[in-house]
Amino acid sequence: MAQDVFQGTILNWIAAQSLDVAFILIVLPTMVLAVVGTLVVRGIFGLMIAPGSTVGAAKAGAAAEIYAVVLGFIIVFGFSDFQEAKRDVLQEVTALERLTAQAKLLGTDASGEIATAVGEYASAVVVHEWPVMETGRTSPEAEAELAQMSNAVMNPAGGANALSQFRLSALLDDVVKLRVARLSASPDPVVSGLIFQVLFVGAALALVSGWFVRGPSALVHVLLSAMLSGSVVAVMILSAQLLYPFSGPVSISAEPFMELAKLAQQ
């Protein structure tokens, strides 16, 4: 379990880096290692690897195709989860807006209380909860505001009739469900640890796959090895960033909650 947490922390760190920083710290060193390894392998095993080696090419091609399928699955999975998390955020804000609109139809003192509670909850999500969501954690401040909003909605002294109370309760349930989905968008340590292992194996494969298949030109061999390793590792960084939708350069903005908080203050 500790190993999974450590690997998940590394994966989270990779996902939080900007593209420029990730290129300097991860992609570029990988390309350098690929070039050095290519030169070493050519120097040691150059006479043993024929320029037209079909066996080496077949093995490298099979390994690359297998991992391409795995990596493609991770990217599609990550993009799907990213879009789902973005949709959950927009749906949660929409449910809060509908909750405010439904409360205004009551025409009682509870209307303003519910609207204020919604605005304070949205503000707490932006200020306190958004910074810690990259690791799937919750904010005590946001939880307290959610409880306050729940009390305002479920207060029987608000003067709402049975139908209005039912609609308000249903919208509140939607907010709670969508909040849980938003908080669980980032992978837990066990899943992120497994993903890290798959990506680590892919990085190693991208690093060494170009070493043992060479052509007659040393320059072409070195360039192809560097390009292969760099491009694969760059794609893996993108897949890691998609798996953490609330951190890094590829992240979901808190702007919908900001706008909701501003509207509540007006």
CA distances from 108 to 118, 148, 157, 160, 193 (A): 16, 18, 10, 8, 52
Residues with Cβ within 8 Å of 206's Cβ and at least 6 positions away in sequence, in order, are 30, 34, 228, 229, 232, 233
pLDDT at position 4 is: 47
Mean of per-residue pLDDT scores for the chain: 78
Residue, of 26 and 48, whose pLDDT is higher: 26
Q: Decide which of 57 and 188 is more confident.
A: 188
Q: Residue 197: pLDDT above 80?
A: no
CB atoms within 10 A of CB 177: 14
**What pLDDT sits at residue 64?**
58
Mean pLDDT of 49-78: 59
The helix/strand/coil state of 139 is: coil
pLDDT above 70 as % of the chain: 74
Residue 92: name the closest of 29, 176, 204, 214 by CA.
Answer: 176
pLDDT digits (tens, 9 = 90+) for 77-125: 777 888 888 999 999 999 999 998 888 877 666 778 888 899 999 999 9
End-to-end CA distance of the chain: 48
What is the per-residue pLDDT for 94?
94
Q: What is the mean pLDDT of residues 19-24?
A: 80
CA gap 85, 181 in Å, rounded: 7
At 58 the pLDDT is: 54
For the residues 231-247, what does the mean pLDDT come to? 79
- Given pLDDT bands bounded at 50, 70 and 90, which one contains residue 66? low
Predicted local confidence at residue 124, as pLDDT = 93
For residue range 148-161, list pLDDT tens digits in order.
999 888 875 555 56
Q: How crowded is the C-beta side of 16, counted as CA atoms within 13 Å?
A: 13
Predicted local distance difference test score (pLDDT) of residue 125: 93
Helices (H), the chain: 2-16, 19-22, 28-45, 54-104, 109-124, 140-154, 162-183, 189-208, 218-243, 255-265
* d(C-alpha 4, C-alpha 51), whole Å: 42
What confidence score (pLDDT) does residue 157 get? Answer: 54
Query: For residue range 126-182, what is the model confidence (pLDDT) as tens digits?
Result: 999 998 887 667 888 999 999 999 988 887 555 556 777 788 889 999 999 999 989
- For every residue of 145-180, DSSP letters joined together read HHHHHHHHHH-GGG---HHHHHHHHHHHHHHHHHHH
